[in-house]
Chain A
Amino acid sequence: MFEAEIDAGLLKECVEAIVAVVDEGKVRISDEDLNLRAVDPSNVAMVTFQLQRDAFDVYRFSNGDGAELEMGIDFPKLGGILGIGGREQVRLSVDDNVQKLNVQMGSLTYTVNLLDPSSLRKEPKVPELEFPVQVVIDTEEFRRTIRAAEKIGEHILFGVEGDEFYMEVEGEMDKLRLGMRKEQLIHLTPGTLHSLFTLDYISAMSKGMGHVDHITLNLGKNYPLQIEFEIADGKGKVSYLLAPRVE
């Protein structure tokens, strides 16, 4: 049995963070948190999501054997449902055999059929990665650069040169570069490296960052990119992983 109450805006933010990478996935419900790990169909991007129980106003979970419950969710659909309600409280409840999710907003109750978790793709393993460089950047600065980059090309370079972090995109005619020195950033590990990424994935991720004020980028040389940020005043965590392009 699972019952919970949470701020609608916060739940919307969570759904947006996940939908940036996958449309469907298994949310695990445990005594401590809701969590999810899912990879996109092309095996290029992964999202890891966790929301602690104290991010909820009400959180009741009981499962006979103490094991986690698995809930298969169609996230765009859930997002659509939440879009109907305002910024009020949302009450969530799941029946015992985890086939239906009730979403109650004020006097409106929406019942969604859950997806069979066994029909969903298996959860990915977590690769063991080591990132030599870490950059902490203002989210708005990041998002603005990505929006500008979308007008120019399809691939984006993320790199660090000494104590400057840069994002660079080249189109057929134009080129865009954002260079930020250490003092303009919240944090930077100096180094010399870069990796190239497909912009579509990063654009989608930048839309999953909601109202977060800063994000952490973990980088390597011709290596996956990890983007991490906190939600719900630190009571939740989102991490994206994106494989690079061949250069």
Chain B
Amino acid sequence: MRGLCAVCKGSRLLCGLKTCPILKAILRRQSGLSNLSNDFSGPSTSVFVGRIGYPEVGVGPLAVIPEQTDLELSTAHPAEWLAMGMDRLIELRGTTLRARKPEHIRSKTGFIADLKELAMAERPTDVELRFGSKPTFKFAFSDILPPTGASVRVENMRIVENPRIPKKVERIVTDDLNAVEAVNMLYSTGVDVYKLSEILSAGILGRNRVKKLVPTRWSITATDDIVFRYLSAELKDYPPLDSFLVYESMYLGNRFVILLLPSLFEYENFEIWFSGSLWSRGSSSTILGEYEGYNGRKRYATDEGGGYYAARLAVAEALSRMRRQAGVVVFREIEPSYVLPLGVWVVRETVRAAFRNRAEKFQRLEEALSYINSRLLSDIKELKVKSKILGQRRLDDYWR
């Protein structure tokens, strides 16, 4: 059960139960805040596409209740959320309202057309919503998505101001590009993955014939993967690093220690869920590892899921700025204090933050590993034996 929970993270219900008991316990504790009426007027910050019932899914705007929130902070880039503690973050996300209407992923209703506008807008856009019932607060947590405060069925939506859509976005999305090309172009003009995944999810990208909505959960990881592939093609033309670098960062019980090795690109990601942490309820910690070689991976990283892709993207961004390639081993230790899953942005932003810190530099692998051992709670010897990268000798060890 313990290993199963770490792999599932409450998302795939691998245990066979109808709902995740861990998530449910958390939900019960957090429910019951205040009530709203059937009519709503306020800013829509984003759009949300569900995955349950695919290809008939719940779709709608993600709104915030203006009187109850710090609008600026709740719509800020997730990098700025790193300054907040868990409580503040939950409070902030608790004021988000997920309005949804059942739609087919290929639906072309006016409601969907309006949603596309909201998804492309660079700033929150004021909307009026009529709900099917009174919304009640009910927190939703996930390993991939940031938490949301409430979910309610929406009957009608009216956009009450002109969404501000950046010219470059407008231009690229009206070209008949496939989704991968469009994501790459948007990214290279400076659109960050958060906006990109929203645009992808709203069914704006792709050849005209095959445009469709993409569940938000899938679009987040798809975007991380597409942008990574774009960066990695370039990366492989860069010279390898000439020394060992170690980067580090910590956020809400998630400790990242990242080792870059002077070699061609290869990537390994460890998740060490300590005993008593969210997805490891047993008496010992659960260690997961995923690896890909220079030529990349073909299969989904099932054991680690979205976190693997989010960290890999942030690493590729950093290497791309350095104009170097490297072998990469990411160690993520998750302490019991990470009591709620907050979404995969935690991984992406904490890794991005690590590369904003100064690196420790070493000339020899053994020195780098002994430093890492002093930074991690886990034993590096145990991880080294499990590691595809660190546990493998190289032919050039024998060239003498």
Asked if residues B293 and A41 are in contact (CB atoms below 8 Å), the reply is yes
B residues 3-42 near A (Cβ < 8 Å) are none
Asked if residues A41 and B395 are in contact (CB atoms below 8 Å), the reply is no
Task: Kindly provide the distance from the CB of B284 to the nearest chain A CB, expressed in whole angstroms.
Answer: 14
Chain B residue nearest to A195 (CB atoms) is B393
A198 to B384, CA, bound (A): 14
Q: Which chain B positions have C-beta within 8 A of A244?
A: 393
Q: Which chain B positions have C-beta within 8 A of A45?
A: 395
Task: Kindly provide the distance from the CB of A14 to the nearest chain B CB, expressed in whole angstroms.
Answer: 21
B residues 372-388 near A (Cβ < 8 Å) are 384-385, 388
A 177-217 to B, binary, CB cutoff 8 A, 1 in contact else 0: 00000000000000000000010000000000000000000
Q: Which single member of A42, A125, A129 contacts B394 (CB below 8 Å)?
A: A42
Asked if residues A245 and B393 are in contact (CB atoms below 8 Å), the reply is yes
Asked whether A246 and B393 contact (CB < 8 A) given A41-B264, A198-B388, A224-B398, the answer is yes
B 294-325 to A, binary, CB cutoff 8 A, 1 in contact else 0: 11000000000000000000000000000000
A46 to B295, CA, bound (A): 16
Asked if residues A43 and B398 are in contact (CB atoms below 8 Å), the reply is no
A224 to B397, CA, bound (A): 10
Asked if residues B392 and A198 are in contact (CB atoms below 8 Å), the reply is yes
Chain A: interface residue count, which band? 20 to 34
A71 to B393, CA, bound (A): 30
Interface membership of B151, Cβ < 8 A: no
Asked if residues A246 and B391 are in contact (CB atoms below 8 Å), the reply is yes
Asked if residues A42 and B266 are in contact (CB atoms below 8 Å), the reply is yes
Q: Is the interface of A mostly helix, strand, loop or mixed?
A: loop
Q: Which chain B positions have C-beta within 8 A of A241?
A: 395
Q: Which single member of A41, A42, A243 contacts B398 (CB below 8 Å)?
A: A243
Q: Is the interface of B mostly helix, strand, loop or mixed?
A: loop
Asked if residues B384 and A41 are in contact (CB atoms below 8 Å), the reply is no
A31 to B306, CA, bound (A): 54
Task: Kindly provide the distance from the CB of A74 to the nearest chain B CB, expressed in whole angstroms.
Answer: 12
Task: Kindly provide the distance from the CB of B292 to the nearest chain A CB, expressed in whole angstroms.
Answer: 11
Asked whether A243 and B295 contact (CB < 8 A) given A41-B266, A43-B263, A127-B399, the answer is no
A125 to B400, CA, bound (A): 10
A244 to B393, CA, bound (A): 6
Asked if residues B264 and A243 are in contact (CB atoms below 8 Å), the reply is no
Asked if residues B398 and A127 are in contact (CB atoms below 8 Å), the reply is yes
Asked if residues B399 and A42 are in contact (CB atoms below 8 Å), the reply is no
Q: Which chain A positions have C-beta within 8 A of B264?
A: 41-43
Asked if residues A23 and B295 are in contact (CB atoms below 8 Å), the reply is yes
Chain B residue nearest to A222 (CB atoms) is B393
A246 to B393, CA, bound (A): 6
Interface membership of B396, Cβ < 8 A: yes
Q: Which chain B positions have C-beta within 8 A of A39?
A: 395
Task: Kindly provide the distance from the CB of B7 to the nearest chain A CB, expressed in whole angstroms.
Answer: 14
A42 to B292, CA, bound (A): 11
Asked if residues A246 and B398 are in contact (CB atoms below 8 Å), the reply is no
Of B264, B266, B388, B392, most A-chain CB atoms within 10 Å: B392
Task: Kindly provide the distance from the CB of B326 to the nearest chain A CB, expressed in whole angstroms.
Answer: 12
Interface membership of A152, Cβ < 8 A: no
Asked if residues A245 and B392 are in contact (CB atoms below 8 Å), the reply is yes
Asked if residues A129 and B398 are in contact (CB atoms below 8 Å), the reply is yes
Known: A41-B265, A41-B293, A43-B395. 20 other contacts (CB 8 A): A41-B266, A42-B264, A42-B394, A43-B263, A43-B264, A43-B394, A43-B396, A44-B395, A124-B395, A127-B398, A129-B398, A243-B392, A243-B397, A244-B393, A245-B393, A246-B384, A246-B385, A246-B390, A246-B391, A246-B392
Q: Which residue numbers of A lie inside 8 Å of B, CB to CB?
A: 23, 39-46, 124-125, 127, 129, 198, 224, 241, 243-246
Q: Which residue numbers of B lie inside 8 Å of A, CB to CB?
A: 263-266, 293-295, 327, 384-385, 388, 390-399
